[in-house]
Structure 1
Amino acid sequence: MKKFIPFFLILLSTLFLQQSNAQLIACNAAFTTQFVTGSSVKVIPVTAAADTNFVLHYWSFGDGSNISAVSSTHTYLNNGTYTILHYIIRQTPNNVTYCTDSVSHTITIQQAGCNLNASFYWTTAPTNNLSQTFYNTSYNFLAGDSIRWTFGDGTSSTLINPTHVYNNAGIYTVCLRVQKATTASGTTACIREICMQDTISTVLPPPVCTLSANFTWYRDSLVTTPNSYHFTNTTVVLNSSDSIRWTFGDGTTSNQVNPNHAYTSTGTYNVCLRVIKRNANGSLSNCISEKCYTVVVIAPINLCNYQVYFSSLVDSAHSNILHFTNLTPGYLPTDSITWTFGDGTISHDVNPNHTYTVAGNYNVCLKIIRYTTAGSTPCIREYCKVITVVLPPPVCTLSANFTWYRDSLVTTPNSYHFTNTTFVLNSSDSIRWTFGDGTTSNQVNPNHAFTSTGTYNVCLRVIKRNANGSLSNCNSEKCYTVVVIAPINLCNYQVYFSSLADSAHSNILHFTNLTPGYLPTDSITWTFGDGTISHDVNPNHTYTVAGNYNVCLKIIRYTTAGSTPCVREYCKLITVTVPPVLPSCSQISLYHFVRSTSNSNVVTFIPNFIDATVQYTWTFGDGTGSHDVSPTHQYSAIGNYTVCLTAFRNINCATTSCSTISILPNCNNITLAISDVRDSLVPNRVSFSAISNIATTNQVWKITKIPTTATTGTVTINTNNPTYVFLDSGYYNICVTATYANGCVKTICKTIYISQSIPTNNNCSLQVYPNPASSIVNALVSLTQPLILNASIYSSMNVLVAQQQQQGVVGNNIVSINIANLPAGVYTLRLLYGGQVCYRVFVKQ
């Protein structure tokens, strides 16, 4: 530390203060600390990101280590308490220092035993300096550890990352105290605390000046005044309220956004644009930017002194396509340009490309019209030249070819059929066959009978014709050796075939006819065992269902006209497997999971698509992960976790799917019991309660008379802790199903006995009005002596939904009950007084 302060003094002695035209930002050396490990601390300054190029940071870590950097991470070698000092120097863009500041914080390094280090930092709301958000960055702080913040104004918080709004500006000492959740018996509690000063100001920092003045200019060639120039303001960012001042270097100025200026004489002028931002109240701010350029004004030239010229170039691949280039010296963008290509077409492009459809000589002209002065006659220049266009000769794609086979149906021996398979063959083409025995033919597909057995060189020559019918230079010839042998027993053949499953789709089979001596004239039929057939020589067949299929190949050969044909057949059993349907790339990361039946914290994750070519990467949301295909993971604490699966098939297919899993407490630890309380006045009215060690979110009650008969049923009540009036004495089975927020569901039953029910007094004086009722229902009863009136309303399920008690007097009494919130339906009003019960039914609209 002693070496660090003189270093600052030497640095400051070389700097001097100077006012800058740019907006200045006040110095603030405040910083936060963040423990990276038990002995490593990261220091982070509170510095505006926009001016980091003009801020110098210097740090002293209290252990003899110093560094100059915006932010740094420092590792301490020994435990102890250290003071970290942050020194800041702000400079103008001209490297002139205009303010300095320093702030220090004390930290404690304690790695052995209690491996906990407290640290935090804070941020200020962008629109309210009194609002501060504090972030806990304590090292080794876990979810179960306790935390307490004190903000220096008498308030505190136990949130992990609280937001606090101060009432007034000032300097406040903010402290963070953290304590480990568990400590071994008899040892000292693991507690760490850190305090830092937070300076609160009600003045928001001034905005950063990002103004950048700039402009462009060009000579005006259309006005009568010589030496007139147009200036265009391209300042970033320019607002309508900004102050603008142009100086043109000739003693004149302008406040227009985009002025026009006429110089009185030629020469070199220093033109400057100065822009100043305004404050919200309209006054000029310190945000200023100025840009200057040298503008050379020369004497006007004769704009009509130009000569039109162009060149043409034949395309290297297509001789009927020409590339034209405008070579006119001094061509201006404002000139009007017209090309005429001699074939009735024109173009206004500067350098057009043109395609001719017919060969020949064309007179190509380029006309350029230039408007020099407003209202004057424009200058017109034109240049023409004759070009010769040659259409490219057609490409010869002719490829002669043919096939042949022995004719087994004719009486003439050694007769063969020849089939012309030339690509591409037209009807006008010249065709000549030579059969190798001195004979020829001009037919497209000739038949030829050789006079004797032997080996013959058979050739097919095809020549294309020109449009006028003459023979062209496009010709092609193909020759094959044809072996003519003595006739054989054509029925002496054995049918056979092979099958091969497709490498990519196992349900597609490629069948190959391997019958020796198979003739093109043979009739061929495949039956695939699934009800389908084919007459192809070597078919491919797709099976839709896996299984075993009897595939047969039948070949029928007609040897001599009118004779019985030869029939041969071969069958074999093949096994077909249908491959699974491969999902799209976006689907290979979909997955599901299964919880363990013995421990709900243990979950097995299973991809919906499992393939050896896919690499699986899991993250379980608790900081752990796995590369197993289907991992099993045990969570250490309850909560909601986001589990993600990233599936990588190749560089073109990688996708991620995430879902939330809730780890819930063990339902076996939840207790549930039923409490029933009898009404002291009405013993058949019972109030039920579900007693549990965890609050329930929903209850479903079922009341069943014992024994159950055809006239009795089960009453279901979807109300928490209901009150029910039993209409008959006897035993009842009471069951409640409770649902909890953690997803657990518990059911418990209890048998109770109803000893008596209060009979209905049909002779009591009770009137209910209005009936139907909508918001208020009234009960009118006449008393001969003062009595307590107990009025109750029950739903059609005998569930108590409203009640009221009032003191009755001698004479007529009206009991009014609010029923506005009850759903529409049929209800029963029961009035209990003087040991008797009166019932009346009414309708709620």
Structure 2
Amino acid sequence: MKSKLTYLHRTLTLILIIVLSAMRAQAQAPVAQFTSNRDSGCFPLRVDFFDNSTNSPTEWQWDLGNGNQSTLQNPSATYLVPGVYQIRLIARNANGADTSVFKTIKVFGKPVIDFVSPDTLGCTPHTANFTSTATPGILANSITGYEWNFGDGGASTLPNPSYTYNINGNRSVSLKVTNDKGCFEIIGRPQYIKVGSGIDVAFDEVVTPACAPPITAFFTNNTTGNTVGTTYTWEFGNGATATNPDTVTYNYSTPGIYTVRLIGVNSIGCRDTATKTIVANAFNTVINGPDSICAGSSATFSYPSNTAILANPPSLWRNGFNATNYTGASFSFVYTTPGTYTIQLFANYGTCRDTIRKTLVVKPSPTVNWNILGDSVKCSTPLTVNFNNISTGGNIYNWAFGPTGATSTDRDPVYTYTTAGNFTVRLTVTNSFACSTTVQRTNNVRIQAPTLSIAGTPAGGCAPFVFNAATGVTTTAVDSIVRYSWDFGVTTRTDDTSNVRNPVFDYGNNPGTYTVRLTIFTRTGCSVSATRTVVIGPRVTFGIAATPRVTCPDANIQFNITNLVGGTPPYTYTWNFGDGTTRTGTT
């Protein structure tokens, strides 16, 4: 019984605590709090708000920032204008009200977009250039993407693309632009680009030859393609025009070479031009060629390929320099002497003749020459070379001394070579007429160390031995050899030297090994040596004994070497028995 009373007491106590806690909560003002499903986005933006207030509010007063109010516990709002909105919630219960902190909603604007193309009408293949004028939009910082659709399956992501239409038709173009907030806008232009078939303008011409004006030309329009509604304009090359669509006859009052154009524009704006050059009256021949050249240069003269000059009898050229005649459409000649020359073309036009003249001025060219004061060769570096310029007829000098980058514009330069080699020197001289002459001399400066070899001289022999250096001595020296010094290596003699190039030295009957040395000395102070080992062996002497010395045919005879003196074993011998039989051996 006591345990039941204890349990009842505990239960009543717990119920009392819960009731008192509820009464206490109802006695406190609510603490307003709320969240939303998003804090920002692109307009139009719907936002759902959720009340998280504590202390059991029973009333809610929302200011949704866009001019709208709500008393719902969890309202929604749609923002139709980009901007920054402040949201406020007032929560109430029987004990009072509390206002929450403001919550900010950012509504980003879409990009403001437009585009334009100056090429809305054209002929296949037609290239249209598009320019976007898009801006990021309210609260956006930049544009992050462009998506063009050109209406024929073509697309681009460039801000200002160019696109070529290869098929006829009217094409709608759209552009989608996205900013850095993820907001985008799309604009479209129905049938914005109109592409149609073009025309191929062409014409034929016939010019009637005449010796004097007027010269009549006949032109025939051969244009093909989409020619419906095409208008034509003829331009005859002298300011005169015509709009005849087909055949045109025109009389030129002045001989000359004219550029004739036929311009066609069809009904959709496709335009094409054909151009031809015609010769009205063959007397208006011109000579193509230079007005001036430098002496020593070649000049080529010709008449235009469309000039109606006949080949039979041939037209003749004269070069003005000598009496040589040339035939054909051109000639070339090297003018070596300064002066003024008259080039003549005696043109044959069949029933008409004409003489055309052209003046050629041949300007003087410099004469280039130089020498070197002092040495231009040396066996070692450095070598300072003094160039003495004796060129005439020029006042600007450009030297190249051989090593990379080694140049000078002095008249008489001094240049120091610091590396060995064979150097090509080049001098270009230019005069006041802008004529230049260049002379290049290979190996004009040479810096090379001398070389020496006596490997081909005798290597030795048997005593008595004579060393003959008539052959086997090879030398090179860019600056010439001034002295030879031989040492034959015999320390016991004082006459074992020589100063000639190819000496002869007698070692006598003195076997041994000797070191022969030759040293050469060059004009600019270099020397080089070479050695040769000469081995002289002692001469071998011996006798022959035969037993028996008289015998019958087919009998054996014993031959022996006797009194062998000199040399060092083993010996190599060759026997000749006098009857054509020989034997060779070593002992």
Provide the TM-score with structure 1 as the length reference: 0.28
Larger radius of gyration: 2
